[in-house]
Amino acid sequence: MEENVELLDHAPYSPDLSPNDFFTFPKIKNRLRGQRFQSPEEAVDAFKNAILDLPANEWNKCFENWFEHM
């Protein structure tokens, strides 16, 4: 089934950044820094585990900071 969806890039310094852009990805990047993976699947699993390991209070901070950025 084909969907007619156009993908658009957003500016790298957009004030409309999502919480993932300024919170989640940097935290996960820091957690995975220096690790080597044998396959793309292993890297994806490590990313998923890092996301699942973030405590609820970290997610709360994420959204509180997002509102401050807005």
For residue range 25-53, list pLDDT tens digits in order.
888 889 999 999 999 999 999 999 998 99
| 35 within a domain of the structure (yes/no) | no
Residue linked to tokens 């995975």: 32
Q: What is the CA radius of gyration of the chain?
A: 15
Say which range, 3-7, 32-36, 48-52, 56-60, has the weakest mean pLDDT: 3-7
Domain holding 58, by residue range, is: 17-27+42-70
Q: Which residues contact 22 (CB under 8 A, 6 or more apart)?
A: 65, 66, 69
| 57 within a domain of the structure (yes/no) | yes
Domain count for the chain, please give it: 1
| 12 within a domain of the structure (yes/no) | no
pTM: 0.59
Residue-level pLDDT at 23? 77
Residue-level pLDDT at 36? 95
| 2 within a domain of the structure (yes/no) | no
CB 28 within 8 A of CB 47: yes
